[in-house]
Amino acid sequence: MSMADTVLYEVGDGLATITLNRPEAMNALNVETKVALREAVRSAAADDAVRAVLLTAAGERAFCVGQDLKEHIGLLAADREAGSGQASGQTMSTVREHYNPIVRALAGARKPVVAAVNGVAAGAGLGFALAADYRIVADTASFNTSFAGVALTADSGISWTLPRVVGPGRAADLLLFPRSIAAREAYELGIASRVVPAAELRAEAEKTARALAEGPTVAYAALKEATAYGLTHSLSETLDKEDELQSRAGASEDHAIAVRAFVEKEKPRYLGR
């Protein structure tokens, strides 16, 4: 099914596939695309039948180059004509109305999210990729923070995710001096979880996402919560959180299935609960 022509949404066998579908515009984010993407990721996060999410994009050139600057220029011009002389709250409200809900849904989903990065991921496109739990990247892809290049600050969660992935010193370098980061360097920095030949990207990403969709969903959700919690809390607080989450995972049907399969030397068939 399609959330809009610019975002495709499909669910099958526990996997939700969300595809940015503006290849002619390098999957730039106009208002229609942002609204559709927000609704797609929210639907995937809220649907108990969805046990993993694959976020990808159409075309070969770009995953997502961030804000559609052509549309943005038009909105800024409308502000000037209205006499404001600067970007209005309405023009810049896309962070609050679109980017923040998208990142919250991706990072907060109680299921794994895989990003298949097929080309350039810049600005908010980089932010969405970093909000995923696992990033499979084509060897022809690249990343760029972009914000300082258009006199803006970071959004789409990048000020939180990027320092945690690459370290605060390297994050400052990448934000203050935007540049193209090739796939191999992205892997070395930790931005890419895995780099594969471009021709193999979709197959490898689907294989990975489907394996996660068949896995112990409750445990995956607990792992996401535990690692996010541990980044901002003390060791003692994190130990208490691990105790809480392990009790939850231990009470799941999937844990019982896993233990029984281990004893019987069989492959577990998880139910996701």
Q: What is the pLDDT of residues 187-223, one digit of tens each?
A: 999 999 999 999 999 999 999 999 999 999 999 999 9
Q: What is the pTM of this model?
A: 0.90
- The pLDDT of 238-256, averaged and rounded, is 97
Dihedral angle sign, alpha carbons of residues 185, 25, 58, 157: positive
d(CA 40, CA 271): 24
CA–CA distance, 100 with 40 (Å, rounded to integer): 14
Residue 86's pLDDT band, with cuts at 50, 70 and 90, is low
